[in-house]
Chains A and B, each alone.
Chain A
Amino acid sequence: MKKKLAWLMLAAMVVTVLLSGCGTKNSNTFKIGMTGPLTGGAAQYGIAAQRGAQIAVEEINAKGGIQFELKVEDDTHDAEKAANAYNALIDWGMQISLGSVTSTPCEATARIAAAEKIFALTPSASSTSVTKAGGGYQFQICFSDPNQGSASAVYIKNKGLATKVAIIYKNDDVYSTGIYESFKTKAAELGLSVVSETSFNDDTDTDFSVQVAAARTAGADLIFLPMYYEPASLIFAECNKIGYTPKFFGVDGMDGILTMKGFDTKLAEGVMLLTPFAADASDAKTKSFVQKYQEKYGEIPIQFAADGYDCIYAIYEALQKCDAKASMTAAEIGALLKDTFTSSSFSFSGLTGSGMTWNAAGEVTKDPKGMEIKNGAYVGLD
């Protein structure tokens, strides 16, 4: 009996070895890994980025030639879980990385990417701390936060949207503080008057009566909200409750507010934000993506989905350009991709911008686009 069992186990081992052998042999499949919040408060972003990337992978695989295998691990927007998930992806054999979807976890995964010399292109982790931690291996396809903050200030000033601005930001979140600081600096430069600055953190992100009252007392006619949509929804509700109607200017984290369950979209009417992607844009690329996404997932894609989609295509184009082979190690591919992305002859046009170029730090250069929420949908401002 024991002998039989031993033979059985041996047979099983042989089969396993043979099977796993097949996977890597004569294939041109690159393994791409990403971590993102698939559950938890920021799940909306992780799921959208994953779905966008998945659509791109399917399109590319259908073309033949370079093939991708995408694996996404849940990090619940937590840095420690992201690091563990990232190591699991490395064990799985990840050759190219999409880093993490949100900034704080991405800071952790960028550090590992730098140590392992894996090329990483994050769809949406926009903090500069992300590229800093990545030591030249972590690239972004989204705006960096300072870029977004100063662009918002310029936009508000140039369009004459406000004379007195209030800012409410989240002080324990690099995404929020990064945008806040650059906005403030740029506003001072432009002579845009900031009359009230208040903040909140993870434990106090529910009651905004004080912050809103401070903005109102200071006479602000516009509130700048560098934050995700959940606290923003509460700020809109609070303003509505006390009958205060300033203009609202958000950032790309505001994306998702319209699909929040139970949310009365009337509260967000007129909210403006800068975002590189508009699902209602009429170009063929966006139309085809939005249609595919809707067919597959039954909802209109948000910016994070477009970011995920673009990441895969940018990597695809760069891989073709630098002639990388799927048989190479992650570090070899990493070195090639890093050089390609920063080379002056490489530029990428996708859903979230055309003619994107990258600097050696990993930050992208592209133009922002103004959007406004009208009748429960995003409409381009320009």
Chain B
Amino acid sequence: MDFLSNLVNGISLGSIYAVIALGYTMVYGIAKMLNFAHGDIIMVGAYVCFYAVYHFGLPGWAGVLLAMLLCLILGVAVERLAYRPLRRADSLAVLITAIGVSYFLENTAQLVFGANNVFFPNLFEAEPIRLFDGRLVISVVTLASIGICMAVMVILTLFIEKTKLGKAMRAVSEDKDAARLMGISVDRTISVTFAIGSALAALAGVLLCSAIPSLSPMTGSMPGIKAFTAAVFGGIGSIPGALLGGLLLGVIEVMGKAYISTQLSDAIVFLVLIIVLLVRPTGILGKKVQEKV
């Protein structure tokens, strides 16, 4: 029973990692950059929702929508102000800028929201499902994160495969210059990518804080790194890969904690990542791309 319970907890945590990883992987797949500020956008989204619900008494769904909207604007603004001027710079400069944006958001959040942790309100009022005399508890948050995670993956895949904008994204991902020659606005396409990624981050932030109700300006940083790991684990750039990587990472983390050591759980997670990358450098579902000369 403990095993099942741990498995449920692992999947619950993993599906949240997966939602974060989806945003990471999408931005990487299309803009070819690692947006390290992604984790901090999660935190901003959670704070927006917290204030909307706790201070202004809005219903939970309105808080989530508001958080997604504001984070969408924030994501596009970050891209416009910090990343777009560096479009022609080498990738290292963009990477450092992303880290800078991450620190900027964390410290601004400390100034604006204060450094103390706040306790995130329970947005899902419904009673959890209790099985086997209450030995196995599946909370509504768990079900919601798994459901949302699956839905997001399907919608994203359809969007990228079927729509015109999705086609433009794939084109930009493959070759920016050729895409531009074909009349695709590269800047606009990348803006849309950031908008989607950041709205997803806000959603992930609300899910994360609903499952683990402590929120501080540093809340997004560790899950951000874990989700990045999940994205690499599953094959960065691959949408099903992000889902698989996130779920596996969550399960490994919880199982490692439960059966090996509560102290070494993170070490175990990253050890598995290293092993996977040694065997399959592109991640589990990552495609090997042949560079054309």
**A interface list, Cβ under 8 A from B:** 39-41, 43-44, 171, 198-201, 203-204, 206-207, 209-211, 213-214, 217, 230-231, 233-234, 237, 241-243, 260-264
Contact = CB atoms under 8 A, between A and B. Distances in A.
30 contacts: A39-B110, A39-B115, A41-B115, A41-B116, A41-B216, A43-B115, A43-B116, A44-B116, A203-B222, A203-B266, A207-B13, A207-B212, A209-B9, A210-B257, A211-B262, A213-B5, A213-B9, A213-B258, A217-B2, A233-B213, A237-B119, A241-B128, A242-B137, A243-B130, A261-B54, A262-B50, A262-B54, A262-B118, A262-B119, A262-B121
A264 B118 CA distance: 11
A217 B2 CA distance: 8
Interface residues of B, number: 36
Given A209-B6, A230-B117, 16 more contacts: A39-B110, A39-B115, A40-B115, A41-B116, A41-B218, A44-B116, A171-B263, A207-B254, A210-B262, A213-B5, A217-B2, A233-B214, A242-B134, A260-B118, A261-B118, A261-B119
A207 B137 CA distance: 15
Contacts of B222: 203, 206
Contacts of A171: 263
Contact of A213 (B6, B211, B214, B266): B6
Nearest to A171: B263
A260 B119 contact: yes
Nearest to B216: A41
A233 B258 contact: no
A43 to B, nearest CB: 5
A81 to B, nearest CB: 13
A217 B6 CA distance: 12
Contacts of A231: 214
A207 B209 CA distance: 11
Contacts of A263: 119
Nearest to B134: A243
Interface string B130-164: 10001001010000000000000000000000000
B265 interface: yes
The residue in A200, A207, A233, A242 that gathers the most chain B C-beta atoms within 10 A of its C-beta is A207
A243 B137 CA distance: 9
B227 to A, nearest CB: 14
Contacts of A230: 117, 214
Contacts of A243: 130, 134, 137
The residue in A43, A242, A243, A262 that gathers the most chain B C-beta atoms within 10 A of its C-beta is A262
B263 A199 contact: yes
B137 A241 contact: yes
A234 B262 contact: no
B269 to A, nearest CB: 10
Instruction: Give the 10 A-B residue pairs with the shortest CB-CB distance, closest first.
Output: A262-B119, A263-B119, A209-B9, A261-B118, A210-B257, A39-B115, A242-B137, A206-B212, A210-B258, A262-B118
A233 B119 contact: yes
B120 interface: yes
B137 A210 contact: no
A231 B262 CA distance: 15
Contacts of B266: 203-204
A213 B117 contact: no
Interface string B93-135: 0000000000000000010001111111100000010100010
A200 B211 CA distance: 18
Interface string B227-268: 000000000000000000000000001100110001101100
Given A41-B116, A203-B222, A203-B266, A209 B254 contact: yes
A171 B267 CA distance: 15
A41 B219 CA distance: 11
B13 A199 contact: no
Interface in B1-31: 2, 5-6, 9, 13
A213 B2 contact: yes
Contacts of B139: 241
Given A241-B137, A262-B120, A214 B258 contact: yes
Contacts of B137: 241-243
Contacts of A40: 110, 115
B270 to A, nearest CB: 11
B246 to A, nearest CB: 14
B221 to A, nearest CB: 10
Nearest to A267: B119
A227 B258 CA distance: 21
Contacts of B214: 206, 230-231, 233-234
A39 B216 CA distance: 12
Contacts of B258: 210, 213-214
A287 B150 CA distance: 58
Contact of B265 (A39, A204, A213, A241): A204
A305 to B, nearest CB: 16
Nearest to B113: A261
B42 to A, nearest CB: 13
A44 B117 CA distance: 10
Contacts of A200: 262
B110 A201 contact: no
The residue in B120, B214, B253 that gathers the most chain A C-beta atoms within 10 A of its C-beta is B214
Contacts of A233: 117, 119, 213-214
A100 to B, nearest CB: 17
Contacts of B211: 207
B263 A260 contact: no
Contact of B9 (A41, A44, A210, A264): A210
B67 to A, nearest CB: 15
